[in-house]
């Protein structure tokens, strides 16, 4: 379903959401009360396969509530620690330290011998998506977030010694990614389209195996390498620190070089299937020009174009051009209630409800708003960042007032809830915008 431009009137960045001081205070108070009342329900005791305390992404009885997901755990934990900070709730912080550390160690406990880690775990099954072992049905594994999760827990606990016996498991996890998923241009590729985070991202969903050098995967890996480099420094492992830091900077350079499109002033995921087959197909014909490219940009404007700004990879000039050309000038990405997960100008744009895959073809997700908000802040677009924060706060406060809880994703132009009532997860990241 494509929304007509006249139905999106007033949704561009120039028509920034305005909240009076009283309105903002009322909205934030309502959200804080809701999160404070429900946060304890996200903290699970050890149960079955999950032998350590863990963090749930959803309220009890709601979808996902019995599951432990890779990147969802990072964002939920980050939001919960922010709640404890805002509430000056030391007992909650201490419980979170136990449950966040436990969530990480639950994953590391189930790493394979070669370092692969499951994407999803439940109390009865350590690998429901079947990504480990000889009988694996998917070629993917967990998203690279465990260095970030470990650093978050270490910062909040005030020590890193608890992670020392497990740090080599994280390093083996990186090796499992780089050995099996590094493309000819140095970017990582998804093995397939199972549980890639932004489920039906057209640059990965339905595409050939090992062909999509997706920005989400590569930017997460860049951030995780930096986080683990810092962990290595604190653990007294200088060689690992230097190696991880170098690896992160090399990856950053490849993202800047291969994913930036000067024509559109946007970062794109790239296809890495470009192969010169003349020797195979026409071996008797003399060669002329060499192929000067090893990848092609998939010019589909997903929110992922903001991720090199989120993690500081983009140059200031690239950031300036991206925001001015693609964000503040019209409403293709910047909507009334936040950032569209996919540009409304794309032919596959849709706001339909879907589960498996969840719909990332246009609806507003709070994690998308969060990435864009951090990106805008980082590169000096403070007015635009403040407007996006106001939109996000208003959206969730309105949902809370209408439905009594929060949802997974939203209509970008009306703010209507579209999916999974009772969802918490990265919705908690709105607290960083307060």
Spatial separation of the C-alpha atoms in residues 250 and 244, rounded to whole Å: 10
Residue appearing with tokens 């809830």: 417
Residue 201 is predicted with a pLDDT of 98
Residue 11 is predicted with a pLDDT of 38
Spatial separation of the C-alpha atoms in residues 187 and 414, rounded to whole Å: 38
Q: What is the pLDDT of residues 390-420, one digit of tens each?
A: 999 999 999 999 999 999 999 999 999 999 8
Torsion of CA 48, 49, 50, 56, to 10 degrees: -80
Instruction: At 47, list the tokens.
Output: 């149960």
- For the residues 163-186, what does the mean pLDDT come to? 97
For residue 186, is pLDDT > 60?
yes
- For the residues 369-386, what does the mean pLDDT come to? 98
Would you place residue 344 in the very low, low, confident or very high pLDDT band (cuts 50, 70, 90)? very high
According to DSSP, the residues that pair with 271 across neighbouring strands are 212, 296
- For the residues 213-224, what does the mean pLDDT come to? 98
Axis-axis angle for helices 90-109, 70-87 (nearest 10): 170
Q: What is the pLDDT of residues 288-321, one digit of tens each?
A: 999 889 999 999 999 999 999 999 999 999 999 9
**Residue 137: count of CB within 10 angstroms of its CB:** 9
Q: How confident is the prediction for the chain on average, in pLDDT?
A: 94
Q: What is the DSSP string of 251-276?
A: HHHHHHHHHEETTTTEE--EE-----
Spatial separation of the C-alpha atoms in residues 132 and 118, rounded to whole Å: 7
For residue 384, is pLDDT > 90?
yes
Residue 300 sits at φ, ψ, to 5 deg, of -120, 120
What percentage of residues in the chain have a pLDDT greater than 70?
A: 96
For residue 113, is pLDDT > 80?
yes
Q: Which residues contact 126 (CB under 8 A, 6 or more apart)?
A: 49, 110, 118
Instruction: At 239, list the tokens.
Output: 């060689």
For residue 1, is pLDDT > 70?
no
| Cis upstream peptide for 360 (omega within 30°) | no
Residue 304 is predicted with a pLDDT of 98
Burial letters for 172-207: b for 16+ Cβ neighbours within 10 Å, e otherwise? bbbebbeebbebebbbbbbbbbbbbbbbbbbbbbeb
CA 42, distance to chain mean position in Å, is 20
For residue 9, is pLDDT > 70?
no
For residue 7, is pLDDT > 60?
no
For residue 241, is pLDDT > 80?
yes
Would you place residue 127 in the very low, low, confident or very high pLDDT band (cuts 50, 70, 90)? very high
Q: Which residues contact 6 (CB under 8 A, 6 or more apart)?
A: none
Residue 14 is predicted with a pLDDT of 40
Residue 291's Cβ-count burial label (10 Å; 0-12, 13-18, 19+) is exposed
Q: What is the DSSP string of 84-131?
A: HHHHT-HHHHHHHHHHHHHHHHHHHHT--TTS---SEEESS-S-TT--
What percentage of residues in the chain have a pLDDT greater than 90?
A: 90
Residue 18 is predicted with a pLDDT of 76
- For the residues 99-120, what does the mean pLDDT come to? 97
Q: What is the pLDDT of residues 16-68, one digit of tens each?
A: 467 888 999 999 999 999 999 998 999 999 999 999 999 999 888 888 889 99
Would you place residue 13 in the very low, low, confident or very high pLDDT band (cuts 50, 70, 90)? low
Q: What is the pLDDT of residues 64-88, one digit of tens each?
A: 889 999 999 999 999 999 999 999 9
Nearest to 332 by CA among 321, 343, 322: 343
Axis-axis angle for helices 215-234, 238-259 (nearest 10): 160
**pTM of the model as a whole:** 0.94
Nearest to 338 by CA among 395, 403, 381: 395
């Amino acid at each position: 379903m494509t929304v007509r431009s006249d139905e999106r009137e007033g949704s561009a960045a120039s028509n920034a959401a305005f909240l009076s001081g009283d309105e903002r205070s009322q909205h934030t108070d309502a959200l804080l009360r809701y999160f404070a009342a429900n946060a304890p329900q996200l903290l699970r005791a050890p149960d079955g396969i999950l032998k350590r305390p863990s963090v749930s992404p959803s309220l009890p009885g709601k979808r996902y509530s019995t599951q432990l997901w890779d990147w969802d755990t990072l964002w939920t934990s980050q939001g919960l620690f922010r709640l404890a900070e805002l509430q000056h709730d030391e007992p909650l912080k201490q419980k979170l330290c136990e449950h966040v550390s436990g969530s990480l160690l639950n994953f590391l406990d189930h790493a394979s011998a070669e370092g692969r880690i499951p994407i999803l775990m439940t109390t009865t099954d350590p690998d429901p998506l079947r990504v480990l072992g000889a009988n694996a049905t998917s070629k993917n594994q967990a998203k690279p977030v465990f260095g970030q999760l470990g650093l978050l827990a270490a910062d909040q606990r005030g020590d890193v010694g608890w992670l020392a016996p497990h740090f080599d498991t994280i390093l083996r996890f990186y090796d499992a990614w780089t050995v099996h998923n590094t493309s000819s241009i140095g970017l990582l590729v998804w093995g397939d389209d199972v549980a890639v985070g932004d489920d039906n991202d057209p640059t990965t969903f339905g595409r050939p195996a090992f062909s999509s050098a997706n920005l989400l995967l590569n930017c997460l890996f860049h951030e995780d390498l930096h986080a683990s480099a810092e962990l290595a420094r604190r653990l007294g492992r200088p060689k690992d620190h230097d190696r991880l830091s170098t690896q992160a900077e090399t990856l950053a350079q490849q993202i800047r070089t291969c994913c930036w499109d000067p024509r559109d002033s946007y970062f794109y995921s790239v296809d890495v299937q470009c192969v010169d087959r003349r020797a195979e197909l026409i071996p008797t014909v003399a060669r002329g020009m060499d192929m000067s490219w090893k990848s092609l940009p998939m010019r589909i404007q997903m929110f992922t174009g903001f991720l090199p700004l989120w993690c500081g990879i983009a140059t200031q000039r690239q950031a300036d051009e991206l925001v001015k050309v693609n964000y503040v000038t019209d409403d293709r990405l910047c909507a009334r209630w936040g950032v569209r997960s996919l540009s409304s100008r794309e032919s596959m744009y849709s706001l339909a409800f879907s589960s498996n895959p969840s719909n990332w073809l246009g609806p507003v997700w709070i994690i998308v708003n969060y990435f864009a908000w951090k990106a805008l802040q980082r590169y000096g677009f403070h007015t635009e960042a403040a407007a996006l924060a106001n939109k996000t706060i208003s959206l969730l406060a309105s949902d809370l007032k209408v439905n009594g809880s929060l949802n997974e994703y939203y209509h970008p132009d009306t703010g209507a809830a579209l999916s999974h009532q009772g969802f918490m997860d990265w919705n908690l990241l709105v607290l960083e915008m307060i």
